[in-house]
Structure 1
Amino acid sequence: MKEVLINSLKALILIAIFAVMPFVGARYQLTQSRTAVLESNAPNYLSHADPKDLDRLSMQRLSRVLDTKFHSVDSVPRIFVSDIPSELTEIDHIPEKKRLFTSVVLPLILRANEIILAERDILENFQTRIQNGGHLTKSELKWVYTRAARYRVNINKAPTVKDIDRLLYHIDVIPPSLALSQAAMESGWGTARFTQEGNALFGQWTWDGTGMVPERREDGKVHTIKIYDYPLDSVISYMTNLNRHKNYETLRQRRQEIRQRGQILRGEALAPGLAAYSELGVDYVHELVSLINYNGFAVLDRAQLVQADT
């Protein structure tokens, strides 16, 4: 009888091990993944389908994702292209070109904002812990210092509540209507050479010699147009630029004031903070606002991504 009980106990232990181990392994993998994301400087591509090249039929379907009046902004498909489609240079019908461009670029903008919101959520959780007398782990401190360096926020010691506030001031979303309008203006609705060949949607300059030489660069100038592996990288780079460069302090101030009033961030409201983005100055702002209004982009500031299978 005793031997039977022992064998039964062994069997139960084995069953428990095989039943529990998958969950333990899964939890371990999840922890490792979160740590990797926490410590990584790269955008998190793992939370959505890999960027993919789309054939012509897929492009035609994608161009119908958003109709002329953008009725589907509350359920924008989670489709991220690996390159700006060459079809944009072949479409003569302007409304169709705009519709395809918007259908391609809007998900990228929303995804970049998702990444920013995820970082804000992490920072707010850290801030609450610090406020309650808690401490950050080494990996968490490294994560904070990495973001501080990226956004040029000086944090010399252990982060304080005010330090996190300063980071949150910089790490914030850009209204989709504003980002989309700038992408359209700077890339010629996706037809510019640096956009087609280098996935550059915003014509950002670089001086490290690795970019694409502008066709009409003035004599004596040495800047190039920065190129990107994926269009999403271009959007993230653009948002990082607006969130840290001294020229866009007015934009960040306006954004914070709007947040403090509990209002929705609108492209038109932040556009005046981009006068320094172009040599046109105030005229550039007027063009942006006109483009937002003419194309009805304001409604996109409420747009949200959904899973591809919903």
Structure 2
Amino acid sequence: MKYIIFIALFLTVSLFADDNLKKMSVKEKKKRFYSLVIPVVDKVYEQRYKLYEDVSEELNSSKKSVQIEELKQYYKVETDQELLMSLKPQPKSMAIAQAAMESAWGTSRFFNLGNNLFGMWSISSKENRIAANVKRDNNTTVWVKKYDSLEESVRGYYITLSKGKQYKKLRELNYNTDDVYEVIQGLDRYSERKEAYVDEIGSIIRYNKLTKYDRK
């Protein structure tokens, strides 16, 4: 009985929140989104960049710790350069733009019920996840991951880009340049929309002047 009451209360609060979001202007939605997302992206990015710098420095020294081999195993890479490619985080402006698109500026159901900023799918029934309201063409249910916090969502995003085989091109571009407009060309496999998705991410970055958040 208590469980049923809790679910009912949760749904009531969620519907109330959704109703409030619908009443917000675009400017208000963006302001809310930035206040929630930018501090988290900053935190995760800087932590990952610090690790990237530390590992880079260690690889240039005469001694290599056990940590290097453990990191190579975790990211499933063999060479030092591949490890650095995996560790260097993609620009904050790219992460913010993708979060804005995938979460509809923090108004999507997946964002509000599951802290899922990037539309990350779930392929395991053992994960915390949420079913999408629509099904794919073959009538299969689409599941997206449910995170405990926005920080966990951002960490998951960066790890996915660091390990996924489909993002090898993205990692190579990111390693060789800090120009976000060049880096995002590696997102052509992030979405079924391919180049159209890349173009839209670029437009979001440009229109909202998101490069001001990037490391200088």
Match for 2:76: what amino acid? R
1:104 aligns with 2:36: yes
- C-alpha RMSD of the superposition: 2.1
Larger radius of gyration: 1
- Asked whether the equivalents of residues 212 and 226 of structure 1 are also in contact (C-alpha less than 8 Å), the reply is yes
**How much does 1:135 deviate?**
5.2
Would the alpha carbon gap of residues 206 and 145 (structure 1) be closer, same or farther in structure 2, given more than 3 Å must change? farther
**How much does 1:91 deviate?**
4.8
- Equivalent runs, 1:19-168 vs 2, <5 Å: 86=17, 89-129=21-61, 132=62, 134=63, 136=65, 141=66, 143-154=67-78, 163-168=79-84
Residue 163 of structure 2: aligned partner: 244
Residue 214 of structure 1: aligned partner: 132
- Asked whether the equivalents of residues 202 and 238 of structure 1 are also in contact (C-alpha less than 8 Å), the reply is yes
- C-alpha deviations, 1:101-130, integer Å up to 9, x for none? 01211111111111211211331343234x
- Asked whether the equivalents of residues 177 and 266 of structure 1 are also in contact (C-alpha less than 8 Å), the reply is no
Alignment TM-score, normalising by the size of structure 1: 0.58
Number of equivalenced pairs: 196
**How much does 1:198 deviate?**
0.7
Q: Distance in 2 between matches of 1:256 and 1:125?
A: 15
- Asked whether the equivalents of residues 120 and 144 of structure 2 are also in contact (C-alpha less than 8 Å), the reply is yes
Alignment TM-score, normalising by the size of structure 2: 0.82
Q: Distance in 2 between matches of 1:267 and 1:91?
A: 33
Q: Distance in 2 between matches of 1:91 and 1:106?
A: 23
1:268 aligns with 2:181: yes
Q: Distance in 2 between matches of 1:91 and 1:103?
A: 18
Q: Distance in 1 between matches of 2:96 and 2:203?
A: 13
- C-alpha deviations, 1:58-78, integer Å up to 9, x for none? xxxxxxxxxxxxxxxxxxxxx
Q: Distance in 2 between matches of 1:212 and 1:288?
A: 25
- Asked whether the equivalents of residues 266 and 301 of structure 1 are also in contact (C-alpha less than 8 Å), the reply is no
Would the alpha carbon gap of residues 135 and 145 (structure 1) be closer, same or farther in structure 2, given more than 3 Å must change? closer
Structure 1: where are the runs of 5+ without partners?
Answer: 1-85, 155-162, 259-264, 304-310
Q: Distance in 1 between matches of 2:115 and 2:135?
A: 19
Q: Which of the residues 77, 88, 91 maps onto 1:175?
A: 91
SS in 1 for 2:54: helix
Residue 173 of structure 2: aligned partner: 254
Match for 2:37: what amino acid? V
Would the alpha carbon gap of residues 223 and 144 (structure 1) be closer, same or farther in structure 2, given more than 3 Å must change? farther
**How much does 1:298 deviate?**
2.1
Q: Distance in 1 between matches of 2:102 and 2:163?
A: 20
Structure 2: where are the runs of 5+ without partners?
Answer: 1-16
Residue 196 of structure 2: aligned partner: 283
Match for 2:117: what amino acid? L
**How much does 1:174 deviate?**
1.4
**How much does 1:149 deviate?**
3.1
Identity across the alignment (%) = 29
Would the alpha carbon gap of residues 255 and 135 (structure 1) be closer, same or farther in structure 2, given more than 3 Å must change? closer
Q: Distance in 2 between matches of 1:208 and 1:114?
A: 30
Q: Distance in 2 between matches of 1:95 and 1:300?
A: 19
Residue 229 of structure 1: aligned partner: 148
**How much does 1:223 deviate?**
4.4
